[in-house]
Structure 1
Amino acid sequence: MNAYKTLHELLRTADTDPELVLAYLNSLLTEINTAYFASEKKRTLEGLDTFLGFKLFVDEHLTDQPAITEIAAKLAVSTDCLYRVVKQQSGLSPKEFITDRLITEARRRIYHNQTTSVKELAFELGFNDPSYFSRLFKKITGKTIAGFYQDLSL
């Protein structure tokens, strides 16, 4: 509040040099800018810690397909906070991140020929419905699983 009072007094005085007002405003803005970015940096580092915890949890429990509320509880953050941090760090929602990670794992397993059927792959990745898994795979990759197998054999 003192800053506003000082600025107000400078502006009320008729013979105040405009350069003095500008210098004071510049100094004030520099302090505000420094304080803002210091708090923003702290928030980003805290967010990074939460995001890394999220990624580790997802990797460790990928085939369990954990609920977002469960992950948030394990990380001791709210679901809103988790959503905000994951979106900020990855550009994806937590659900989209998990789905993307599941499809990446499916592609890896197909590439390394670790699975023999779509049904088996779906169950290994925690999907109860192989047809849903197939539709999701196509939606994300633009190819059917059979088409993906075929591309690998070329």
Structure 2
Amino acid sequence: MIHFTDFKSYNEYLGLDKPLDNNIDVGFYDPPNMLSKSEPISVDFYRISIKINFVNKTTPKRKPITAVFFNSPNLIVPAGWDIEPTYKGMYLQLSKKFIEENRYLFKTYLDYGQHEALYLTEEEIEEISAVFKLMMKYYESEKRNFNVLLSYVNVIVSLVEAFYKRQFLTDPKQYNHIVRDFQQSIIDYYNQPVSQLPSVQYFADKLGLTANYLGDIVKHFTQKSALENIHDFVIKRAKQLLVENQKLNTTEVAYELGFEYPNYFSKFFKKQVGLSPKEYRQQLN
């Protein structure tokens, strides 16, 4: 596997133009002059890649697609790629430093991962292409205005956010199983002895997704965050244990649920229910 730590070495490998800046790089693809087949790779920066009429030779039906793809630091593209050099498109590359310094602009979409493509409509292609052309104008200018570039980057990310919401709405069947699998994974987790509270990252790893992508889908379809869904289940299980197993004291219930500290369980329960575990049990009795 080849690991790239900067834009310059990655662009040379692909056959792209030399970057004009170490923290932001914008460009258009030129497939006939680019590498069409690669071994596994990873990069140490962020990429947003828009590819139009893109054909991957490794897919069975080889149907052309138009989509936004993402690369995040240390995300491995395990099979590399083998593509037809007939597509067109554009790319935006951002360093980790750039993201950290402007994190308030970037919500969650740069962490969606390679496998979570966003499929674009014709109207969305025109819209995002127009923004890229304007961004390129300022990127290639000798007197680059960083604030203008940053604004266009923010527009691109905001468009991606809006397009994802459209995709969630237009193809809900694609995502319903993810919500079901997530909720079943919580049940499965508590159907065995536990030693700690589960995290969103734990379930994302189980489902082969990034935590941000899982969180956005769960939030969209349940109107609650993934963490809130976990907390709801923990409270439901806590109530069952308090009612159905009177032999367990609140400390033992806390350990059954994976809380390391019983007093944290009591505070958590009271915040969610409005009563302490002891008060809840007494009220029912």
TM-score, length basis structure 1 = 0.68
Query: 2:211 corresponds to which residue?
Result: 79
Answering whether residue 185 of structure 2 is matched by residue 57 of structure 1, we say yes
Query: 2:201 corresponds to which residue?
Result: 69
| Distance in 1 (alpha carbons) for counterparts of 2:186 and 2:275 | 25
| Distance in 2 (alpha carbons) for counterparts of 1:144 and 1:70 | 28
Q: Deviations over 1:44-63 (max 9, x none)?
A: 11211100110111111134
**Where does structure 1 lack aligned partners over 5 or more consecutive residues?**
2-36
Query: Retained in 1: the 8 A contact 2:219–2:225?
Result: yes
SS of corresponding position for 1:86: helix
Answering whether residue 175 of structure 2 is matched by residue 47 of structure 1, we say yes
Letter in 2 for 1:140: Q
Q: Deviations over 1:85-142 (max 9, x none)?
A: 1111222111111111101101011121354211100001110100000000000000
> Identical aligned pairs, as a percentage?
27
Answering whether residue 227 of structure 2 is matched by residue 95 of structure 1, we say yes
**CA shift in 2, pair 1:39/1:113, >3 Å:** closer
**CA shift in 2, pair 1:148/1:129, >3 Å:** same
Query: Retained in 2: the 8 A contact 1:109–1:115?
Result: no
Query: 1:147 corresponds to which residue?
Result: 279
Question: Cα distance, 1:67 vs. partner?
Answer: 2.3
Query: Retained in 2: the 8 A contact 1:47–1:85?
Result: yes
**Where does structure 2 lack aligned partners over 5 or more consecutive residues?**
1-121, 123-165
| Distance in 2 (alpha carbons) for counterparts of 1:135 and 1:120 | 15
For the pair shown, the structure with the greater C-alpha radius of gyration is 1
| 1:24-39 map, 5 Å | none
More helix by share: 1
Query: Retained in 1: the 8 A contact 2:168–2:175?
Result: no
Answering whether residue 268 of structure 2 is matched by residue 136 of structure 1, we say yes
Query: 2:157 corresponds to which residue?
Result: none
| Distance in 2 (alpha carbons) for counterparts of 1:98 and 1:82 | 13
Moved more, 80-89 or 113-122: 113-122
| Distance in 1 (alpha carbons) for counterparts of 2:200 and 2:247 | 28
TM-score, length basis structure 2 = 0.38
Question: Cα distance, 1:39 vs. partner?
Answer: 7.9
**CA shift in 2, pair 1:140/1:66, >3 Å:** same
**CA shift in 2, pair 1:41/1:151, >3 Å:** same
**CA shift in 2, pair 1:116/1:39, >3 Å:** closer
| Distance in 2 (alpha carbons) for counterparts of 1:91 and 1:121 | 29
SS of corresponding position for 1:57: helix
More strand by share: 2
SS of corresponding position for 2:258: coil
| 1:120-135 map, 5 Å | 120-135=252-267
Divergent runs of 4+, >4 A: none
Aligned match of 1:107 in 239, 248, 256? 239
